[in-house]
Amino acid sequence: MCGIVGYAGTAPAQDASSSTGQRALEVLVEGLRRLEYRGYDSAGIAVVGANGIEMRKKSGKLVNLLEELSSNPVSAASTGIGHTRWATHGGPTDANAHPHVVDGGALAVIHNGIIENYSPLKADLVASGHTFLSATDTEVAATLLAEVFRGLPEDGAGSSEGAYAGIGGRLAQAMQLVAQQLEGAFTLVATHAEEPGVVVAARRNSPLVVGLGDGENFLGSDVSGFIDYTRRAVELGQNQVVTITADQVEITDFFGVPAEGREYLVDWDAAAAKKDGFASFMEKEINDQPDAVAQTLLGRNDGAGNLTLDELRIDPAVLKTINKIIVLACGTSAYAGQVAKYAIEHWCRIPTEVELSHEFRYRDPIVDERTLIVSISQSGETMDTLMAVRYAREQGAKTVSICNTNGSTIPRESDAVLYTHAGPEIAVASTKAFLAQITATYLLGLYLAQLRGNLFQGQIKDILAELAKTPAKIATVIANSGQIRDLARSMSETRTVLFLGRHVGYPVAMEGALKLKELAYIHAEGFAAGELKHGPIALIEEGQPVIVVVPSPRGRDSLHAKVVSNIQEVRARGAMTIVIAEEGDESVREHAEHVFYIPETSTLLAPLLATVPLQIFALELATAKGYDVDQPRNLAKSVTVE
Ligand code: F6R
């Protein structure tokens, strides 16, 4: 939530990369364009040039800021900060947009997170004569930073060295002192007219990475903030302050003690985060799914049925003693966990619970050193999941992170990580990450089964061979999606849709409903088909669309027969039934108004196929209603507040 960009480059006069001296502005705008998925309630930038700080900000999407910049341009500059907001404190207005400029126009500050003690801090600042223009906690932090900055001697006299140590000078020192006083989660980034060429940031429990350039350096909420310019990134730890100039990066803790960051090379480039000619990122990411699954499988078995999860740095002896698995995740990632539960319990015979991260630590869960926590997070920054993982570690549990974002916080704070290699997911609604997450949890399940001897090598080999065929089958589902797209377009006036599934089809039904809710703003619910007659069937009336995920008739056929009965039950009460079934399953035809076939696969692998038509259904219906499928209202990707 909230996208942050920072830039320190060469002075405009020597700026070879831009004839207009607008390199800083270009970097900030490009960074915000790429980070807009993190929030789109407002956008703003501040640059530091010969005229000091120049700031522009506008409520609404980035396009509003761009219009403002073209009618009211800023001067050439070498340094700047930019922000795209998902509103927490204060509504999505111009006044509440970031940056907040204080100290008589000399200091600009942007922020992601929530400062929990902003109220007493604000009261103190008001008592000492400060006034506030916005309702944000950010302006409180900015005002405090200005006050602390002004309270420090200009030349650093009085500090231990008699002058400010390091490149950050007075602003970095002020930032350290302020960060010590703040409670809650924050990434704060500041630039000051009296220290041109310097950008200083502090982070606690909120994302920030550094990008290393040639004669320029960058800050971003994630690497997409600077991926157009460099793939060299540096991870920061918690409770750190980082200062960047055009040619230096300096990291300390909140007390000025020098610290190191881990440098890494981002394994995707700017092209991977482009629409590639698709109408939306979501459409592109749906089409990326065969690749996302294939890449996640790549290099993780030796072809003979032996899994080689080298990144899983937990002692196999410890994994053998595990007597319970708890999967922690939110939203779509939690549905991936629910799918995984069926497979892991079936293959490994380890009791597996799936818990929404935000509920976990408040229920006094039973967790000990024999519990394996598997967190699932596309972004690796979801605060609810991070807090749940920390809690579980405190109780002695071992933690594995299934994550799509290298360098993010959750994998760093876990004992081990299994990366999904879906590539950057830009559309706010998750698609390819979901399929990659299911794939990764299956690899983990098979690995545990191998280690603990629950499955024979030949069985694992067969499942892996079938998994390897999945990408091509997903591609077939996408290629044959014309019929479901037509149906979705014809249903743009629909007010409510119910989704039914059993076994692994149940979380798929819930995921289908979530996609429809978040993209098309239509009431949608996913139910376990067996639960229907315990209440939800009362919702069925003439014409009510019901989408049913039907299991393979070749698998557990009692399951198939029961779901077919459920279809008949709703149809008898007037429902319009839309069925996702396996190729060749003719038995469903007579009970359905519409049938969409997916290729044959085993019961446990079916979610990797059955989800795809539901994603496409939601995408098309939302598009027919004229909605922006990449940036649905009220949402943001990467939920970094609790
Ligand atoms: C829905 C969606 C969200 C995320 C959830 C968790 O389409 O994208 O429900 O799945 O916010 O996010 P991560 O996986 O980043 O922890």
How does pLDDT run across 394-435, given as a tens digit for each residue? 999 999 999 999 889 999 999 999 999 999 999 999 999 999
Would you call 56 helix, strand, or coil by DSSP?
strand
Strand partners for 545? 576
Identify whether the C-beta of residue 30 lies closer than 8 Å to the C-beta of residue 24. no
How far does the centroid of ligand 1 lie from the alpha carbon of residue 430, in Å? Answer: 6
Q: Is the CB of 378 under 6 A from ligand 1?
A: yes
Q: Which residues contact 108 (CB under 8 A, 6 or more apart)?
A: 46, 48, 53, 55, 81, 99, 100, 101, 142, 190, 191, 192
Identify whether the C-beta of residue 491 lies closer than 8 Å to the C-beta of residue 547. no
Residue 11 has a pLDDT of 61
567, 548, 552, 566: which is closest to 499 by C-alpha? Answer: 548
Residue 16 has a pLDDT of 46
Q: Which residues contact 172 (CB under 8 A, 6 or more apart)?
A: 164, 166, 198, 200, 241, 243, 250, 252
CA quadruple 88, 89, 90, 96: dihedral sign: negative
Three-state DSSP string of 264-299:
EECCCCHHHHCCCCCCCHHHHHHHCHHHHHHHHHCC
Question: Rounded CA gap, 582 and 500, in Å?
Answer: 16
What is the secondary structure of 527-566 as a DSSP string?
Answer: EEGGGGGGTGGGG--TT-EEEEEPPPTTSSHHHHHHHHHH
Residue 309 has a pLDDT of 86
464, 89, 510: which is closest to 298 by C-alpha? Answer: 464
Question: Rounded CA gap, 351 and 271, in Å?
Answer: 42
Question: Rounded CA gap, 65 and 25, in Å?
Answer: 12
Ligand 1 closest atom vs CA 379: 15
How far does the centroid of ligand 1 lie from the alpha carbon of residue 195, in Å? Answer: 39
Q: What is the DSSP letter of 307?
A: B
Question: Rounded CA gap, 31 and 478, in Å?
Answer: 31
Question: Rounded CA gap, 58 and 29, in Å?
Answer: 13
Q: Is the CB of 639 under 6 A from ligand 1?
A: yes
Q: Is the CB of 611 under 6 A from ligand 1?
A: no
pLDDT digits (tens, 9 = 90+) for 329-352: 999 999 999 999 999 999 999 999
| Residue located nearest, by CA, to atom 13 of ligand 1 | 377
Identify whether the C-beta of residue 328 lies closer than 8 Å to the C-beta of residue 361. no
Question: Rounded CA gap, 475 and 470, in Å?
Answer: 9
Q: For the chain, which ranges sit under pLDDT 70?
A: 11-21, 157-163, 556-557
441, 409, 422, 438: which is closest to 639 by C-alpha? Answer: 409
| Residue located nearest, by CA, to atom 10 of ligand 1 | 332
Q: Which residues contact 99 (CB under 8 A, 6 or more apart)?
A: 44, 45, 46, 55, 57, 81, 83, 108, 109, 110
Q: Is the CB of 615 under 6 A from ligand 1?
A: no
Q: How many CB atoms lie within 10 A of CB 350?
A: 18
Residue 159 has a pLDDT of 60
Strand partners for 58? 43
Q: How many CB atoms lie within 10 A of CB 469?
A: 13
Residue 557 has a pLDDT of 61
| Residue located nearest, by CA, to atom 5 of ligand 1 | 331
Q: Is the CB of 430 under 6 A from ligand 1?
A: yes
Active site residue 2: yes
| Residue located nearest, by CA, to atom 7 of ligand 1 | 429
Q: Which residues contact 78 (CB under 8 A, 6 or more apart)?
A: 8, 9, 10, 11, 12, 15, 23, 24, 48, 49, 196, 197, 246
Query: Going by DSSP bridges, is the β-strand pair 523-528/416-419 parallel, antiparallel, or unpaired?
Result: unpaired
For residue 61, CA distances in Å to 1, 32, 41, 187, 193 come to 14, 10, 6, 21, 27
Active site residue 637: yes
Identify whether the C-beta of residue 109 lies closer than 8 Å to the C-beta of residue 132. no
Identify whether the C-beta of residue 542 lies closer than 8 Å to the C-beta of residue 504. no
CA dihedral 465, 327, 267, 39 (to 10 degrees): 130
How far does the centroid of ligand 1 lie from the alpha carbon of residue 617, in Å? Answer: 19
Would you call 628 helix, strand, or coil by DSSP?
coil
Residue 233 has a pLDDT of 97
User: Between vectors from CA 161 to CA 158 and to CA 166, what angle results, nearest 5°?
Assistant: 110
Question: Rounded CA gap, 91 and 75, in Å?
Answer: 30
Q: Is the CB of 230 under 6 A from ligand 1?
A: no
pLDDT digits (tens, 9 = 90+) for 23-82: 999 999 999 999 998 999 999 999 998 889 999 999 999 999 999 999 999 998 999 999
Mutate to test the pocket of ligand 1, among 375, 378, 441, 510 (most ligand atoms within 8 A of CB): 378
561, 555, 536, 557: which is closest to 546 by C-alpha? Answer: 536
343, 535, 364: which is closest to 441 by C-alpha? Answer: 343
Q: Is the CB of 405 under 6 A from ligand 1?
A: no
Three-state DSSP string of 80-110:
EEEEEECCCCCCCCCCCCCCEEECCCCEEEE
Q: DSSP E strands: which ranges in 140-205?
A: 184-192, 199-204
Rounded to 5, what percent of the chain is helix, strand, coil? 40, 20, 35
Q: Is the CB of 42 under 6 A from ligand 1?
A: no
Strand partners for 110? 189
Q: Is the CB of 382 under 6 A from ligand 1?
A: yes
Q: Is the CB of 385 under 6 A from ligand 1?
A: yes
534, 582, 536: which is closest to 560 by C-alpha? Answer: 582
Mutate to test the pocket of ligand 1, among 38, 222, 333 (most ligand atoms within 8 A of CB): 333
Task: Lay out the sheet containing 496-501: strands in order across.
Answer: 523-528, 496-501, 545-549, 576-582, 594-598
Please, where are the H alpha helices in 349-431?
Answer: 357-360, 383-394, 409-412
Strand partners for 77? 49
- Which of the residues 2, 330, 348, 403 is marked catalytic? 2
Residue 58 has a pLDDT of 97
Task: Lay out the sheet containing 184-192: strands in order across.
Answer: 100-102, 107-115, 184-192, 199-204, 240-244, 249-253
Would you call 620 helix, strand, or coil by DSSP?
helix
For residue 331, CA distances in Å to 278, 336, 511, 609 come to 26, 9, 8, 19
Residue 49 has a pLDDT of 87
How far does the centroid of ligand 1 lie from the alpha carbon of residue 184, in Å? Answer: 22
How far does the centroid of ligand 1 lie from the alpha carbon of residue 241, in Å? Answer: 28
Ligand 1 closest atom vs CA 329: 16
How far does the centroid of ligand 1 lie from the alpha carbon of residue 358, in Å? Answer: 13
How far does the centroid of ligand 1 lie from the alpha carbon of residue 356, in Å? Answer: 11
